[in-house]
Amino acid sequence: MAMKTSSATFKERVDEGIHNDFMRMAVSSAQERLHGRRLTAVDELGNWEDWRSLGQEIRQHVLANLDFYLHQLAANVSKRGGHVFFAETAEEASGYIKDVIVDKKAKKIVKSKSMVTEEINLNASLEAIGLDVVETDLGEYILQVDDHDPPSHIVAPALHKNKEQIRDVFIEKLAYTQTEKPEELTAHVRGILRKDFLSADVGITGCNFAIAETGSIGLVTNEGNADLVTALPKTQITVMGMERLVPTFDEFEVLVSLLTRSAVGQRLTSYITALTGPRDEGDVDGPEEFHLVIVDNGRSSILGTEFQSVLQCIRCAACINVCPVYRQVGGHSYGSIYPGPIGAVLSPLLGGYDDFKELPYASTLCAACTDACPVKIPLHDLLRKHREVIVEKEKMAPFSEKMAMKAFGIGAASPMLYKFGSKMVPSAMSPFKTGDSISKGPGPLKNWTESREFPAPGKESFRDWFKHREKGGNPS
């Protein structure tokens, strides 16, 4: 499974994340910084909710007319001399890209940051046939050098590392001899990548939004590496999820404004680039050959279902930056290249419940993610719907949970049993009490009480209290 980033169990991943004090501190700091900058950026507009509604309307319109816009996009890319390939699966996408590269007798590939290429496990596929694949986004490059460490955040992939850790990796892997200053680390990487850009045979990018009306590919970046990936190699390949398109540049402008403010708290990022096909006669740079790979990989099976709204996502990570669960466990705990609330919804849909059935439960359902989403995806509702599917349709609830719910159903349906049970609970819980709280617990209480206390049930039930009150006793 290409999306899966770890063979450890969910509980093992969570345990590792919770006990990684540096990671939790780094995530907490980054969440506060990014979310704070986002609030400032959206407040400048003054009518943010109107912008969100417009963004939602655009994305819903595209999904409702996806076949039309995909056909229009493909026709316009072809008209400009580009090649379009529709890949139903990750394997088909990687296979087509490998065929193009082999046909060109290419050896070195430079890539800009792309979540969909992570999703289809493209790097591993290309490296398996002996190709030199170089990530040119600084965060992705750091992870690649560090033994292909998977990303932990959609926008800031190396969020879980500090500058001292990065310095040590560079000393070991890149013959680095300077300090942990970010400027010195970046300058060292820049010197290495400059040679890679100039010697690369093929450039591969993702796609923030494709513009159907013109057959253009829109890229939103802050480092400028994507522009070099598309300008210098003779062959360019762009990989996009099939839902990542807009009708015209007017909608592109709206969604880019929502994306940059929500992702990094900027009015605009440093580079907003629109590329249209291979270079024309007289152009000074750009690829001689352009390929657009449009990836389905399970997306079409989401269309028309109760989960369709998840395809509105513009990959800004605003939901991740407000999630209290992500803050405590980090991105690697999700075991998917898509972490956080959006990952908890999307991963089971694209990767299946067998690998990702725990993720919908990695949420408090506080709805902070829904409030932060710039295109109004009801993420907390979708997480709840996943839980319903897991229990009612997939029948994947643990046996102990099934028995506990069945027993509760029997007890709650009988007034006599319910009354008897409520009287027995204080006595049953007394071995686990410390003062007025339960500080250790059996079964489902164990994980909760390992990190927090649970209020102990009172000796007097609500029914007894109410009966006493009705008789004129003290209501306090």
DSSP E strands in 348-441: the ranges are 433-434, 437-438
Q: Tokens standing for 261?
A: 């403010």
Please give the backbone phi and psi of residue 133, each rounded to the nearest 5 degrees, phi first.
Answer: -110, 125
The strand pair at 209-211 and 216-221 is best described as: antiparallel
Residue 177 has, within 13 A of its CA and on its CB side, a CA count of 1
Which residues line the annotated binding site? Answer: 313, 316, 319, 323, 366, 369, 373
d(Cα 234, Cα 261) in Å, to the nearest integer? Answer: 34
* Nearest alpha-carbon partner for 14 in 3, 1, 24, 4: 24
CB atoms within 10 A of CB 456: 18
Q: Tokens standing for 189?
A: 């990487």
Q: Are 264 and 139 in contact (CB under 8 A)?
A: no
CB atoms within 10 A of CB 158: 21
Q: Tokens standing for 343?
A: 């990952």
Please give the backbone phi and psi of residue 420, each rounded to the nearest 5 degrees, phi first.
Answer: -65, -45
d(Cα 189, Cα 97) in Å, to the nearest integer? Answer: 27
Q: Using DSSP, how many helices (H) and how many strands (E) does the chain show? A: 21, 13
List the Cα angle 303/351/347 in 5-degree steps: 75
Which residues line the annotated binding site for [4Fe-4S] cluster? Answer: 313, 316, 319, 323, 366, 369, 373
* Nearest alpha-carbon partner for 181 in 192, 159, 166: 166
